Amino acid sequence: MPAVLLVVCRDRHTAAWAAQQVSPGPPQWPTLTLRPLVLGPDTVPVIDTPEAATKDIPLAVLSSALHSRAPESDAIRKALAAALKGLQADGEDTASIYIELTEQGLGKTPAADLWRHLLAVDLSIFQSQTAQALRAEGLAEALLVVLSGRGIHISDDARDRITTCDDHDTLTTWLTRAATATTTAELFMQSK
């Protein structure tokens, strides 16, 4: 199979450098000519409408990552979020994959923080079983950290009850109680 070197880069100058032809070998006898395929801000279109994002979600994910510093980056992320919400509504199980790829593509840029905020505001995007389990796991872990940090003894039974709980509301209640509780028994008390 023919091979292609793919370079994905959000910086225009680096993308231009990476797109240069490379000819290894001595100058009088280059043995190979390599022309990388570069996807960068100048080669990937801005996808800033929900309709365009819905037509090609993988391209919208790339657009979000490669145009994260562009003035229209907010519109790109909102369009992608709307497309992913529609994908989720259609029963597709791939929305969480695209959400994760978008977050990885945005890296540690300010756009990544805005993406996480956008998702936090509209949690209906994150309704897959895997996403719900990950949120419950994160809450359980946070609860154990708070209890441990406050010096509260966590028995094996209490730890098991916390880590096997998959109900978001219950874990949130327990986490709230952990701020003032003096024992794990206080976490599990029934509300009146």
pLDDT in tens, 68-126: 888 888 899 989 988 988 776 666 568 878 888 888 888 888 888 788 777 766 655 55
pLDDT, residue 66, reads 94
pTM recorded for the entire structure: 0.60
SS3 28: coil
In one letter, which amino acid is 164?
Answer: T
Which tokens in the block code for residue 92? 């597709």
Both tokens of 144, joined, read 């154990």
Q: What is the pLDDT of residues 20-34, one digit of tens each?
A: 998 888 888 888 888
Per-residue pLDDT band for 172 (boundaries 50, 70, 90) equals confident
- Asked whether 140 and 165 are in contact (CB, 8 A), the reply is yes
The answer to whether 158 and 152 are in contact (CB under 8 A) is no
94 against 175, higher pLDDT: 175
Q: Which amino acid is at 34?
A: L
In angstroms, the Cα distances linking 100 to 106, 131, 176 are 10, 10, 28
Predicted local confidence at residue 112, as pLDDT:
81
Q: How does the average pLDDT of the chain come out, rounded? A: 85
Q: What percent of the chain has pLDDT over 90?
A: 38
Q: Cα(180)–Cα(192) distance, rounded to whole angstroms?
A: 17
Least confident piece of the model among 1-5, 6-10, 102-106, 135-139: 135-139
The residue with tokens 């570069």 is: 38
pLDDT of residue 192: 42
- Reduced to 3 states (helix: H, G, I; strand: E, B; else coil), residue 177 is helix
The pLDDT of 149-156, averaged and rounded, is 92
State what percent of residues in the chain have pLDDT above 70.
88
The residue ranges of every structural domain in the chain are 6-39, 50-125, 129-188
pLDDT at 130: 53
